[in-house]
């Protein structure tokens, strides 16, 4: 039998989830603000403790909301930051798998190509892709298999924010390391950026090519 303390914790969790389910756009924005403020930097066990071992129940609501609303930019930046708290938490592999199983990578890549989406939200999308890529070779391959290199390179060329472009460079650099199956694809993507109209994108591409060249070796 569950203790009174456990029953109270479960009751709080169910109440919180019901509040999210019934909330409108403004109320959800406030919920996300509070979640980000109180949970930034927590480990997966700490998140589970916060949510009475039911953190995944909130994560699935975040990912569902992301998939439904990302084209409208509704609370998008906050949604991505909240998902990032789960994915970047120590011992968070379960959360990562749950996010990927619902097409998380494809959604993040689509966000980069949408003109109506604000630059800040796109930067958060890039940061999430960094977290995924840094989780290991399998995840880098998943990004590349999803036509990610092209989407990421095109976004680097079009982005108007140098800060965002630098985040994209970090992502491309991650994809070219420890990714033997697709490292040539990333290398070609970097070369394709050299004639683009953005001087910053050209500079960042050249910098990444310098680190990529020893990995690729001699090329025609």
How does residue 177 score in pLDDT terms, banded at 50, 70 and 90? very high
The confidence score (pLDDT) of residue 216 equals 87
Rounded to 10°, the helix 55-69/4-22 angle is 10
* pLDDT (tens digit per residue) in 128-152: 999 999 999 999 999 999 999 999 9
Tokens representing 78 are 């906050």
The confidence score (pLDDT) of residue 83 equals 98
The confidence score (pLDDT) of residue 1 equals 45
The 8-class DSSP code of residue 72 comes to G
Average pLDDT over residues 172-188: 96
Q: CA 89, CA 20: separation in Å to the nearest integer?
A: 22
How does residue 6 score in pLDDT terms, banded at 50, 70 and 90? confident
What pTM does this model have? 0.95
Average pLDDT over residues 85-100: 95
CA angle 128, 132, 27 (to 5 degrees): 35
Among the listed residues 133, 156, 145, 131, the one whose alpha carbon sits nearest the alpha carbon of residue 185:
145
**pLDDT exceeds cutoff 80 at 32:** yes
Q: CA 111, CA 148: separation in Å to the nearest integer?
A: 12
Among the listed residues 70, 63, 85, 75, the one whose alpha carbon sits nearest the alpha carbon of residue 28:
75
Average pLDDT over residues 157-177: 97
How does residue 220 score in pLDDT terms, banded at 50, 70 and 90? low
How does residue 74 score in pLDDT terms, banded at 50, 70 and 90? confident
Summary mean pLDDT of the chain: 94
The size of the chain, in residues, is: 220
The confidence score (pLDDT) of residue 3 equals 76
């Amino acid at each position: 039998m569950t203790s009174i303390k456990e029953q109270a914790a479960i009751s709080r969790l169910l109440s919180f989830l019901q509040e999210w389910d019934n909330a409108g756009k403004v109320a959800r924005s406030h919920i996300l603000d509070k979640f980000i403020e109180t949970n930034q930097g927590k480990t997966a066990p700490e998140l589970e403790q916060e949510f009475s071992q039911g953190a995944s129940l909130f994560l699935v609501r975040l990912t569902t909301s992301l998939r439904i609303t990302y084209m409208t930019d509704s609370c998008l930046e906050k949604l991505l930051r909240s998902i990032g708290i789960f994915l970047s938490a120590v011992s968070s592999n379960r959360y990562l798998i749950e996010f990927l199983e619902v097409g998380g990578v494809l959604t993040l890549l689509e966000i980069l190509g949408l003109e109506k989406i604000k630059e800040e939200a796109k930067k958060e999308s890039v940061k999430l892709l960094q977290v995924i890529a840094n989780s290991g070779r399998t995840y880098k391959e998943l990004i590349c298999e999803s036509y990610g290199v092209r989407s990421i390179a095109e976004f680097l060329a079009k982005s108007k924010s140098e800060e965002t472009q630098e985040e994209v460079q970090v992502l491309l650099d991650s994809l070219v390391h420890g990714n033997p199956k697709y490292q040539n694809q990333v290398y070609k993507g970097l070369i394709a950026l050299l004639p683009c109209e953005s001087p910053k994108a050209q500079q960042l591409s050249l910098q990444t090519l310098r680190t990529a060249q020893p990995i690729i070796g001699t090329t025609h």
